[in-house]
Structure 1
Amino acid sequence: MKYAIDRFEEDIAVLQDDDGNCTDVKRALLPEDVRQGDVLIYENQKWRHDAQETSDRRKKVLSLQERILKKKK
């Protein structure tokens, strides 16, 4: 299952799955280089950063922001 990092609260990462459900995970259990918005996959009792999915989602958000800004002009 894939999760996006919604936010960090001290030593806890709040992750959100594709259905909108949130899960709290100790930050120490995640890869060190992850940040808010990154996509993670939980496999074999380990968290893995899905760099491709993270990149795809960021591009989609930027595209949407650009479309919104163009409509305001």
Structure 2
Amino acid sequence: MESEVRKLLDKAEKLVDECVNCSSEDCDECEDAEELLNEIRDKIQSIQDKKVARRLRVFLDDLENKLESKLG
């Protein structure tokens, strides 16, 4: 599960970067990034190892903050 979440986080990071670089707030990448971040949050909650989950959550929070600053 951890490796799957890491792959999804990498994908989400690319989408968030594309969203931030998009000139419009209606970019498909922004919507896709939001959906993917929600999916990742759900997967992180199901990880049994709390230390691993915490590390992944920190990375997720950074991406969410970056996206939120773009979308306001």
Q: TM-score, normalised by structure 1?
A: 0.36
Query: Which structure has the highest helix share of the two?
Result: 2
Higher relative contact order (CA 8 A, sep 6+): 2
The structure with the largest alpha-carbon Rg is 1
